[in-house]
Amino acid sequence: MTEALPNLQALALFLAVVDEGGLGAGARRAGIHQPNASRTIAQLEAQAGTALLERGPRGSRPTAAGLLYAAHARELLQAAEEFSDWLRHTRDEDARELRVGASMTIAEHLMPAWLAALRRRDGRVRAALEVLNSTQVLAGIHDGRLRLGFVETPHVPRGVHALRLREDELVVVVAPDHPWAARAEELPVQELARTPLVVRESGSGTRDAFEELLPEAAATPPVQELGSNAAVRIAVAAGAGPAVLSMLAVRSFLESGQLCRVPVEGMRLRRLLTAVWTGPRRLSGPAAELVAVASEVVHEQ
């Protein structure tokens, strides 16, 4: 049978008695009533199988066995204090670390400002950002690898908490020499749905949101399927075909004339950007701070 581990509070009391030279003084230092202290010392002696203190009219002093016992007790208590210090430091450090995942449009165009604002608010926070598509972010949230996520997909599964941050506009873009760029009329929705597009990969929030808004488009095979907004922009500018991307991802390219926007007849393509997490409904620590920062920055825009 395994021996019971020493009671650290009992060892601290014993050392207080040894250091103070008396049971009463040691009990006061340890914050224990004397009768309880007497019982605790008796339990230590029973466990040790020998007397640890010699009691006399002038106080209590350790026996030879008690001196050796005290030396080992000091080593054990010092090790316990070092362990407690390490644990407290680790807990404090972990409390200021945040593993966050963001889908690509958010990561590229919003997250840098959010993280900078978070850093200004609390310089101790260390955020480790993973840039993924929305499906991968949700997978990281589900398996606990990510504490917090930001996604663009409308498909948030059950068991995941979600906070809507803002609306984002999706726009149809083409190269300047594409026939749609010279259209005088808005593009009919049916024509958009049956036209092969340059699209993001399966699992992308941009693609999920577009196909949710225009389900008919999902039945049309894409002309190209690419893994990033940048790759889609390059393909569109090179003449591969039209694409539907976030205004966040194409605004500067529209302003420079590298891409052209094509208005859609009777339809505005909008999707939600959402913060997601699991666990307690109420966020705390750096995760709560980052969501608050994201909400504040969104409201200022």
Mean pLDDT of the chain: 91
Please classify residue 7 by burial: count the beta carbons closer than 10 Å to its beta carbon, then call 0-12 exposed, 13-18 middle and 19+ buried. middle
Domain harbouring 192, CATH code: 3.40.190.290
Average pLDDT, integer, range 118-136: 90
At CA 273, angle to CA 267 and CA 278, rounded to 5? 140
Q: Among candidates 278, 244, 297, which has minimal Cα distance to 156?
A: 278
Strands (E), 180-283: 198-200, 224-226, 243-246, 260-262, 269-277
Distance CA 135, CA 151 (A): 8
pLDDT of 299: 47
- How do beta strands 97-103 and 148-151 pair? parallel
Encode pLDDT of 71-125 as tens digits: 999 999 999 888 877 666 555 545 578 999 999 999 999 999 999 999 898 888 8
186 and 291 share one domain: yes
How many Cβ atoms sit within 10 Å of the Cβ of residue 81? 11
Tokens of 31: 């914050």
How sure is the predictor about 59, in pLDDT bands with cuts at 50, 70 and 90? confident
- Indicate the pTM of the whole model: 0.67
Per the structure, the complete domain to which residue 128 belongs is given by: 97-300
264 and 193 share one domain: yes
Residue 2 falls within a domain, yes or no? no
**3 compared with 247, residue with greater pLDDT:** 247
Tokens of 103: 């889908």
Tokens of 23: 């049971």
Average pLDDT, integer, range 23-38: 90
Last residue of a domain, one of 93, 108, 135: 93
How many structural domains comprise the chain?
Answer: 2
**pLDDT over threshold 50, residue 1:** no
235 and 119 share one domain: yes
How sure is the predictor about 182, in pLDDT bands with cuts at 50, 70 and 90? very high
